[in-house]
């Protein structure tokens, strides 16, 4: 992705004390260019001074450090992203504070976010959209089984990362709105200001739009459905002049059937999108895995080659998750055997509660 010019009007200054290019954060990282700006902070390219390795550093703006909601969003982002280990979730490698402002260090991704891609190309060919969403669902499955619900899935939080010599890899960003819940329970819709959810409402589920207190993994699957709807049609399912009209439409009206917008879309893919966007969450897919299977099955109708490749990837993903599970079980057994009974000190993993 291009490095933005911090002085451009697209990058509004929120604090005079914001560090810029060249400044050193946490005594270890030198900031280079600005990669992106969100509501509460900035993402910079950063060089680790010790070895010159490049990362992406997200830092909370000084003005926002007084906002307890924003600070706790930041802390939960690290815990949530690390709990859900998946190559489709951006890796966080360090956390710290600099001059009172929390920061986190991520793997540096190259490419563009899906929001930029949609702005550039309008629609995305169905077989490519399916592959992007398949990878989002693979990352989400890891998050959901770890008890993490993202709650802010939207094109800007999906990164299409290019890799030299291998196919591009989709990464979910920004677990700042997420909540960690014990598996099998529902969670309160926290981190909202006066009952109004933060951020764009375009991809919110009906239960989020209604500020219900028990939003769960099925809400993320609705948001994925809304993202896929936009990829294949060029517009989100619910649109409106203001946030309030969008929220009202999501709460009260069913999303249009995707074939009303793109009549020629393969019916099996349309069925997956329509089911993900059901207002009643019990009518949606029950898990990211279930939605992924239906999506991959739908590719048979799209284009033979893309469909075969997606199905092969799903089969390989299944085989490798069984293999990884077996490796973890063997490693855990040998660790338990080797572990001294008296315990001992252990390093706190990055992002865990300190």
Ligand X SMILES: Nc1ncnc2c1ncn2[C@@H]1O[C@H](COP(=O)(O)OP(=O)(O)O)[C@@H](O)[C@H]1O
Q: Binding to Mg ion by residue 298, rule CB under 5 A?
A: no
The residue (of 106 and 272) whose beta carbon lies closer to ligand X is 106
- The Cα–Cα gap between 39 and 94 comes to 21
- The Cα–Cα gap between 159 and 132 comes to 10
Q: Binding to Mg ion by residue 112, rule CB under 5 A?
A: no
User: Which of ligand X, Mg ion, none sits in contact with 58, Cβ below 5 to 8 A by type?
Assistant: ligand X
Catalytic choice (61, 152, 156, 216): 152
Examine the residue annotation and report whether 152 is marked as an active-site residue of this protein: yes
Tokens of 216: 């769960």
- The Cα–Cα gap between 116 and 282 comes to 33
The mark string for 9-38 relative to Mg ion (x by CB under 5 A, - otherwise) is -----------------------------x
CB of 62 to ligand X, least distance (A): 15
Q: Binding to ligand X by residue 209, rule CB under 6 A?
A: no
Q: How far is residue 104 CA from its own chain's centroid?
A: 16
224 and 276 Cβ atoms separated by less than 8 Å: yes
SS3 for 153?
coil
350 and 92 Cβ atoms separated by less than 8 Å: yes
Provide CB contacts within 8 A for 290, sequence distance 6+. Answer: none
Q: Choose among 111, 202, 189: nearest CA to 155.
A: 202
Q: Binding to ligand X by residue 176, rule CB under 6 A?
A: yes
The residue from 25, 44, 47, 58 that contacts ligand X (CB under 6 A) is 58
Closest residue to Mg ion in the complex (CB): 174
List, by residue number, the catalytic residues.
152
Q: Which residues bind Mg ion (CB under 5 A)?
A: 38, 157, 174
Q: Which residues bind ligand X (CB under 6 A)?
A: 1, 35-36, 38-39, 41, 43, 56, 58, 90, 106-109, 113, 156-157, 159, 173-174, 176
């Amino acid at each position: 992705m291009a490095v933005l010019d911090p002085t451009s009007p697209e990058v509004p200054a929120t604090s005079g004390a914001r560090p810029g290019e060249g400044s050193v954060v946490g005594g270890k990282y030198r900031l280079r260019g600005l990669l992106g700006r969100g509501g509460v902070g900035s993402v910079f390219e950063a060089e680790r001074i010790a070895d010159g390795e490049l990362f992406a550093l997200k830092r909370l703006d000084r003005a926002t450090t007084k906002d307890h909601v924003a600070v706790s969003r930041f802390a939960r982002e690290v815990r949530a992203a690390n709990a859900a280990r998946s190559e489709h979730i951006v890796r966080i490698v360090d956390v710290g504070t600099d001059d009172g402002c929390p920061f986190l260090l991520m793997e540096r991704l190259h490419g563009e976010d899906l929001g930029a891609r949609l702005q550039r190309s309008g629609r995305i060919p169905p077989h490519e959209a399916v592959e992007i969403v398949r990878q989002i669902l693979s990352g989400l499955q890891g998050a959901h089984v770890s008890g993490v619900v993202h709650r802010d899935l939207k094109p800007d939080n999906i990164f299409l990362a290019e890799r030299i010599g291998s196919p591009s890899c989709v990464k979910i960003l920004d677990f700042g709105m997420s909540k960690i819940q014990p598996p099998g329970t529902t969670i309160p819709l926290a981190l909202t200001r006066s009952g109004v959810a933060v951020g764009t409402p375009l991809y919110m589920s009906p239960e989020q739009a209604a500020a219900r207190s028990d939003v769960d993994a099925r809400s993320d699957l609705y948001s994925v459905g809304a993202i896929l709807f936009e990829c294949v049609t060029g517009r989100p399912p619910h649109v409106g002049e203001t946030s309030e009209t969008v929220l009202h439409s999501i709460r009260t009206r069913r999303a249009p059937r995707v074939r009303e917008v793109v009549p020629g879309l393969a019916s099996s893919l349309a069925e997956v999108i329509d089911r993900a966007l059901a207002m009643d969450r019990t009518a949606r897919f029950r898990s990211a895995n279930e939605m992924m299977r239906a999506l991959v099955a739908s590719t048979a109708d799209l284009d033979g080659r893309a469909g075969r490749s997606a199905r092969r990837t799903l089969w390989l993903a299944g085989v490798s998750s069984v293999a990884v599970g077996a490796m973890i079980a063997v490693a855990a057994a040998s660790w338990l055997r080797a572990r001294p009974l008296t315990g001992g000190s252990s390093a706190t993993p990055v992002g865990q509660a300190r």
